Amino acid sequence: MDWYQTLFELIDMRSFSNLWFWIVLAVTWSTASHWVLGVPYDMVLRARRQGAQAEVDLEDMVRINVNRLLFIAQVSGLWILGFACFGLTMLVLLGFVYGMEFAQAVFLLAFPLSLIGALSLSTARLIQSEGAAGERLRKRLTRHRLYTQIIGMVSIFVTAIWGMYQNVALGPLGG
């Protein structure tokens, strides 16, 4: 069974040294920046270039998703907030107090996504309150995407730094 142990030492099944974690991180942020309030960003670009029916389609899609998001927030927003805070607190305690690497990895994915959720709710409220349409709506969606990408870049950077620290501290060079 020596080959089995050698294989698992080579592959290293911990979170930050696992290739699958980094693939999930990349796909998560790629998807988060492509879907702006539940609308694919290429619809925003198509509406900007073509106008007419593409603009109407974009406005309808945004209206449906904004109404849906605001309804969910109004009906069960406090419950969702409470469970999210509980989950994030649990991940912080398990990960950074008790040293569970998997909880650290999940927290470094979930916390920035919770910020995106709050940003989406804020953007949805702004779009509904000002009745954004046309150019103003496209600007709102573009700004939301930019903020999402900034949060994503910071998140990826922090996750990479923490992951490298974990790999050096717990890997063959460290402890």
Q: Is 99 helix (H, G, I), strand (E, B) or coil?
A: coil
Q: Average pLDDT of 17-44?
A: 91
Report the chain's mean pLDDT, rounded to a whole number: 89
What does the alpha-carbon distance between residue 5 and residue 2 come to, in Å, rounded to a whole number? Answer: 5
Global pTM?
0.84
pLDDT band of 11, cuts 50, 70, 90: low
Residue 82: the pLDDT is 97
Q: Which of 81 and 10 is assigned the larger pLDDT? A: 81
Chain Cα centroid distance, residue 104: 15
Residue 107: the pLDDT is 97
Task: Report the run of H or E that residue 17 belongs to, with start and end.
Answer: none
Quote the tokens at residue 109: 């994915």
Residue 172: the pLDDT is 60
Q: Which of 12 and 92 is assigned the larger pLDDT? A: 92
pLDDT band of 19, cuts 50, 70, 90: confident
Residue 168: the pLDDT is 82
Q: What torsion do the CA atoms of 50, 56, 58, 61 make, to the nearest 10 degrees?
A: -160
Q: What is the pLDDT of residues 139-172, one digit of tens each?
A: 999 999 999 999 999 999 999 999 888 888 776 6
Residue 110: the pLDDT is 97
